[in-house]
């Protein structure tokens, strides 16, 4: 297998699977547009009451005994979709190279889970503070009321399942596939720019020594 395809394989894999390091999907993060004016302008938005409500929301929405499975489920679904998206950029006609790559994916995913496992407590603490800062006490009270219902608990519990549902997964896969089509030319552009920069630097150094 030529050196360039190998380098490309490494580059594609590394860039693509950086996505699995993200413990939560976009739908789990509070959107910036959802921040109310009161929460932004009020100096007392992040107070003891808000923090207490936020803590209850996180504890109920992400039960300690199932947090790891929830996070890992999201990660696993992301890996499946990323693996499919980068397929056209991989040497499918070289079983040996593909075996090495897929083994690397499994190893990197397992290592990422080990890292995530250690950081889950601090992620939860950060999420609690973020909720307390982003939402008002009234909003947090409303959110907690929802989270305490069976439907609210199920909303959080089934977040990974939503990612795997065909209607969502297919739409997200189309996005990932199209995004990956941009990767190869973007890599080449970066390589060309770096090569030109290095050539210019060498020319500049040579002229300085004349």
What's the token pair of residue 154?
């199920």
Q: How far is CA 131 from CA 17, 54, 125, in A?
A: 28, 6, 10
Give φ, ψ of 209 to 5 degrees: -95, 0
- Residue 17's nearest CA partner among 83, 113, 76 is 83
**In this structure, how many other beta carbons lie within 10 angstroms of the beta carbon of residue 36?**
14
What digits encode the pLDDT tens for the residues 170-185? 887 787 778 777 766 7
- Residue 3 in this model has a pLDDT that exceeds 70: no
Domain ranges for the chain, please list them. Answer: 3-23+36-185
Per-residue model confidence (pLDDT) at position 5: 43
Q: What does the pLDDT look like over 66-118, one tens digit per residue? A: 888 888 888 888 888 777 777 776 777 778 878 887 888 888 888 888 888 88
CB count in 10 Å sphere of residue 154? 11
- Sign of the alpha-carbon dihedral angle for 92, 177, 29, 139: negative
């Amino acid at each position: 297998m030529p050196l360039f395809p190998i380098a490309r394989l490494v580059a594609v894999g590394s860039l693509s699977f950086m996505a699995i390091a993200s413990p939560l999907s976009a739908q789990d993060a509070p959107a910036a547009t959802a921040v109310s004016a009161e929460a932004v302008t009020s100096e007392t938005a992040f107070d003891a009451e808000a923090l207490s409500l936020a803590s209850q929301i996180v504890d109920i929405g992400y039960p300690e005994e199932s947090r790891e499975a929830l996070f890992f489920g999201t990660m696993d679904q992301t890996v499946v979709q990323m693996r499919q998206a980068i397929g056209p950029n991989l040497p499918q006609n070289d079983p040996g190279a593909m075996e090495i790559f897929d083994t690397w994916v499994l190893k990197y995913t397992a290592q990422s889970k080990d890292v995530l496992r250690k950081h889950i407590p601090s992620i939860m603490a950060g999420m609690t503070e973020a909720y307390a800062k982003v939402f008002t006490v009234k909003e947090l009270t409303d959110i907690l009321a929802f989270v305490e219902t069976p439907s609210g608990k199920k909303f959080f519990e089934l977040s990974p399942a939503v990612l795997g549902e065909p209607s969502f997964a297919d739409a997200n896969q189309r996005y990932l596939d199209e995004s990956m089509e941009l990767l190869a030319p973007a890599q080449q552009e970066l390589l060309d720019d770096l090569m030109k920069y290095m050539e210019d630097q060498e020319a500049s150094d040579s002229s300085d020594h004349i």
